[in-house]
Structure 1
């Protein structure tokens, strides 16, 4: 007789979620294609299945569900959110609403839904055929942003100031459908939130820094945001309304908003925790681990809250202004403050390259803004990131 009474949850996700589920003491099922061996050893049931074949994934998970009922299916990866919500809906268990997941995955569908719900978005035109991007840009007026119609993130987005740049963006992002939208002027903010049973709580609002383009790379964040309390209340209400229009019921979210002279404009909603070290930054300054929160919401549990350990964060991405081989020196560095994604001598691209972007992060916490800036500058100087020509 099975005496294991732990609740069961399935995730279509990766490494940190596995750690969180183990900490929560639940029985975990991990869907992989295939499941990495090291993760398979850490979960209760590794389930290898073709994640592109939804019917096959459903059949495999339904068989497990019949033998040991699941309470939820969720994911924290953009690419797998629709599948996770589909499986939750088909099994009749908790998960992000399937239509909400599909809407967030498709930028054209998202903008149509938000527009119909009275939420302001950039002026845009869809280009199901990439050849339609040029006339769309001419109709909207330059500059424009050309984005992949599905998925999210800066790697699928390019700022274009000329028609030649639009044509190049289509070549880089294609041959799939794109969306062309008029570039929105104004400071950008990242809004983190948790939604349970359709009720949204904004956890944090950070000022977001973005590269010069054409690559729309995130280059840093600041908390507090620098907005007045009234400004933050306005953004929080705007995002809460947007998530309600999209049909959010059980999820965490990372929403990007531009603040214009006419008010906020929604740039993107990702139904997942933020990437990089933003989840850790949010935990430090707000006391909520958004990856853990995603699992707890899926399980129907209250979100764990702890006392913040800092009132400010200065978060800067490590980027390079030209391609080549990256070099740096970690000797004497406060290692917890630095995360690097490349080894010395690895090839890197420039921050404005469509395949470039961030290669690491320097994140410092504290209570005094001048001290944070001083510590960041000292770490950056000691690290000495530089690029040398790649002669190979």
Structure 2
């Protein structure tokens, strides 16, 4: 029986990885903090064969602890769910002689400032980017680089759209930079975050994502996903639709851009989640890459739409096996996140009537909870999932259901 060491399971993709391991007949040992493990839901704990506690905020100690555990236990693969721990996953795989990504470039998979440098060196089609510590530095650097407004301001290290804003003029830079630096430590592990701020030229156009399983530097692309976001200064994801209704030429261009980005980041064995935009009259532009499975329940969305289990394929790749990524079947799936119309006290969600294609309704916020405005993904109250034969139909079904959904906040 194969043994997999998973660095942190308390993530959106964690249960999918554990289920995939069970389907493959593999045992999973999870590396985490003891206090974080105490917060695991019982359903998550039940899927884990064993745990190893270390200090994930100390990379050198964690690498030594987990290498010793891996050698003593006979670990066959190292996997991860958290973007912040992708460098540790790469270094540990190298230490144990197991399939993984290039550890010399692994930090660029976590840090957007270093990712921008890797993209520039690898001639990846990406936004022009500067990294700064203050708004004053940003204003001068933008002028030197010839980057005009609007721009996107984001933390060098964060996720979930936290700290990200679109800035229309120089007067808004100070507030945006302060907002991007509002999370110096990542919960729940207490991991220190790089306090640099990334400022990028704004790229117009629709947004997409593409997940890719990589095995021995061979790329197995899953269907492209259409991303739905809020507008205005803060751009949080409101949903996803799989597959995206793109013409063949655009699909080919997206895959080409993604492969160039993955090569630049040294992603050789594992999985990658790439976010892109397609501006009018131009080819795809790579916004960022995560060397991990996607969040937002996209593992489930892609599986419902295409029949492909990317968590299973990911584990096969890090186990050294050719991943099982068949041609996608015909079908479509959409997820839509429910967010409060305003800050206040949440009372409940009501979906009025019956709706074609609605296959899952999950409300994750308890009545009586205080909720904030939808500036980032932390404001979500739950989600709805839909399936249909085509992307157009599933988008129409989702829009109809949302129009008949009442979210009560006082």
Give the TM-score of the pair, scaled to structure 2.
0.84
Contact 1:207 1:223 in 2 (8 A): yes
Distance in 1 separating the partners of 2:320 and 2:354 = 41
Distance in 2 separating the partners of 1:70 and 1:368 = 42
Task: Evaluate the alpha carbon distance shift between residue 208 and residue 10 of structure 1 in structure 2; reply closer, same or farther with a 3 A threshold.
Answer: same
Does structure 1 residue 60 correspond to structure 2 residue 82? no
Does structure 1 residue 195 correspond to structure 2 residue 214? yes
Q: Which residue of 2 aligns with 1:159?
A: 166
What secondary structure, in the 3-state scheme, does the structure 2 residue paired with 1:169 have? helix
The counterpart of 1:340, out of the listed 343, 363, 384, is 363
The counterpart of 1:8, out of the listed 3, 13, 19, is 3
Consecutive unaligned residues of structure 2, counting only runs of 5 or more, are 185-194
- Give deviations 1:325-383, integer Å, cap 9, x for gaps: 233136877874222331233222222x3575533222211115565355434533554
Q: Which residue of 1 aligns with 2:197?
A: 178
Where does 1:98-247 land on structure 2 (aligned, <5 Å)? 98-129=103-134, 131-137=136-142, 140-174=147-181, 176-247=195-266
Q: Which residue of 1 aligns with 2:350?
A: 329
Consecutive unaligned residues of structure 1, counting only runs of 5 or more, are 1-5
Task: Evaluate the alpha carbon distance shift between residue 357 and residue 215 of structure 1 in structure 2; reply closer, same or farther with a 3 A threshold.
Answer: farther
Does structure 1 residue 258 correspond to structure 2 residue 272? no
Q: Which residue of 2 aligns with 1:367?
A: 389
Q: Which residue of 2 aligns with 1:289?
A: 309
Where does 1:39-78 land on structure 2 (aligned, <5 Å)? 39=44, 42-78=47-83
Contact 1:74 1:96 in 2 (8 A): no
- Give deviations 1:300-320, integer Å, cap 9, x for gaps: 223235786651223322223
The counterpart of 2:288, out of the listed 268, 272, 293, is 268
Contact 1:333 1:382 in 2 (8 A): no
Contact 1:193 1:204 in 2 (8 A): no
Where does 1:83-102 land on structure 2 (aligned, <5 Å)? 83-102=88-107
Contact 1:317 1:359 in 2 (8 A): yes
Where does 1:301-316 land on structure 2 (aligned, <5 Å)? 301-305=321-325, 311-316=331-336
Give the TM-score of the pair, scaled to structure 1.
0.88
Distance in 1 separating the partners of 2:231 and 2:110 = 26
Distance in 2 separating the partners of 1:232 and 1:80 = 30
Distance in 2 separating the partners of 1:333 and 1:167 = 47
Distance in 2 separating the partners of 1:98 and 1:303 = 22
Distance in 2 separating the partners of 1:234 and 1:307 = 19
Q: Which residue of 2 aligns with 1:3?
A: none
Contact 2:301 2:334 in 1 (8 A): no
Task: Evaluate the alpha carbon distance shift between residue 332 and residue 101 of structure 1 in structure 2; reply closer, same or farther with a 3 A threshold.
Answer: farther
Where does 1:375-386 land on structure 2 (aligned, <5 Å)? 375-381=397-403, 383-386=405-408
What secondary structure, in the 3-state scheme, does the structure 2 residue paired with 1:216 have? coil
What secondary structure, in the 3-state scheme, does the structure 2 residue paired with 1:154 have? coil
Contact 1:273 1:279 in 2 (8 A): yes
Contact 2:244 2:391 in 1 (8 A): no
Q: Which moved more, 1:68-77 or 1:332-341?
A: 332-341
Aligned-pair CA distance for 1:12: 0.5
